Amino acid sequence: MSWLAFSYSLTAQSGSTPRVTLWRRLKRLGAIAPTGSVYLLPTLDECWEAFQWLAQEIKLAGGDALIMRVEQFEGQDDAQIASLFNQARAGEYTELESQLAELESQIDGGDVDALQTALARLQKQHNEIARADYFHAPEGVQLAARLNQTAQRLHPIEDSAPAIVPVSLTEYQNRTWVTRPRPFVDRLAAIWLIRRFIDPDAIIRYASEPAPDDVSFDMPEAVFGHVGSFCTFETMLRAFNLSAPALFPLAEIVHEVDLWDGRYIRPEATGLDTILRGWHAANLSDAELETHGLALFDGLFAALSPSPVE
């Protein structure tokens, strides 16, 4: 793989403010400096653009900047450089983990509202680190799981969900599926799951009542609907035993937008809810909601998939 290398210089007349601002920006980007004077990022479009903006700001401040694309470094291979990125992120995650441990120690007998606010702040910090976690440091994955476990401790599920009966994919091929008109998050997510993981050729209908042979979902007396504390998307995920890693964080996002019960701390939930409400306010048709929803959930699934930087 290739790397982006960024080097800069500022004059003494520039003062300390641009230097501090630049250092903070580079840190926020997740850039590493193995030599102390050259900063590295993986060759991604967003990293290239970020370095270009930084170079422009440095030149406006009277300095000089150079961006290079490097195919190979003498003395360090790609795996070693990637390891340096992971070490940097691991340190940031460890610092956050200590704050989470302190919060966890206060759960018994603590102010739940205050603890949830503090947990949301830690989740936001985790997401900021994760944005620059280009090589998916294992500490980040572990901390994300622990954050969600803590959220569930603060908002325990009182009812135990009935068992979800497993079903076979082969029994649900070439079927017509039906749900209520004006689909929102749970139904749009379920439609995406049907199209992408169950039956790409399925027929989707929108009606208040199913026909005799229809597979109904997310409607009264549906074949697939809410089960206990699970939304329809979560129910279908378990019924069909689907296991793609990105489906589980996606299910947490859908759950939060659908139920808003605080079970999961997912920053994507607010943005997704706003987008869907905007589509409804714009009076998109059911077909338009489905088409837009498929593209939106494709993007979310891709963003949540743990694919390493090429």
Q: What is the pLDDT of residues 130-145, one digit of tens each?
A: 989 999 999 998 998 8
Same domain, 239 and 198: yes
Q: 178 - beta bridge partners?
A: 205, 216
The answer to the question of residue 108 being in a domain is yes
Confidence of residue 63 (pLDDT cuts 50, 70, 90): very high
Domain count, the chain: 3
Average pLDDT, the chain: 92
The answer to the question of residue 161 being in a domain is no
Same domain, 97 and 122: yes
Same domain, 269 and 191: yes
Same domain, 281 and 219: yes
Confidence of residue 152 (pLDDT cuts 50, 70, 90): confident
At which of 122, 154, 186 does a domain end? 154
Confidence of residue 305 (pLDDT cuts 50, 70, 90): confident
Question: What CATH number has the domain bearing residue 13?
Answer: 3.30.70.240
Same domain, 46 and 20: yes
Confidence of residue 156 (pLDDT cuts 50, 70, 90): low
Same domain, 108 and 222: no
Same domain, 282 and 259: yes
The answer to the question of residue 164 being in a domain is no
- Round to whole Å and give the CA distance between 72 and 61: 31
Confidence of residue 117 (pLDDT cuts 50, 70, 90): confident
Residues 6+ apart with CB under 8 A from 169: 198, 199, 240
Mean pLDDT, range 50-64, rounded to an integer: 92
The answer to the question of residue 28 being in a domain is yes
Structural domain range at position 278: 169-304
Residue 298 to residues 252, 295, 306: CA-CA distances in angstroms?
Answer: 16, 5, 14
The answer to the question of residue 57 being in a domain is yes
At which of 128, 154, 180 does a domain end? 154
Tokens of 149: 């476990």
The answer to the question of residue 225 being in a domain is yes
Residue 229 pLDDT: 86
Same domain, 93 and 207: no
Same domain, 216 and 174: yes
Confidence of residue 158 (pLDDT cuts 50, 70, 90): low
Confidence of residue 159 (pLDDT cuts 50, 70, 90): low
- The angle that helices 138-154 and 78-104 make with each other, rounded to 10 degrees, is 20
Same domain, 149 and 178: no
The answer to the question of residue 134 being in a domain is yes
Residues 6+ apart with CB under 8 A from 295: none
Q: What angle do CA 287, 180, 242 make, to 5 degrees?
A: 85
Same domain, 134 and 178: no
Tokens of 167: 């079903």
Q: Are strands 203-206 and 39-42 parallel, antiparallel or unpaired?
A: unpaired
Mean pLDDT, range 99-127, rounded to an integer: 90
Residue 160 pLDDT: 55
For residue 155, pLDDT over 80 is answered with: no
For residue 9, pLDDT over 60 is answered with: yes
The answer to the question of residue 81 being in a domain is no
Same domain, 61 and 128: no
Confidence of residue 284 (pLDDT cuts 50, 70, 90): very high
For residue 219, pLDDT over 80 is answered with: yes
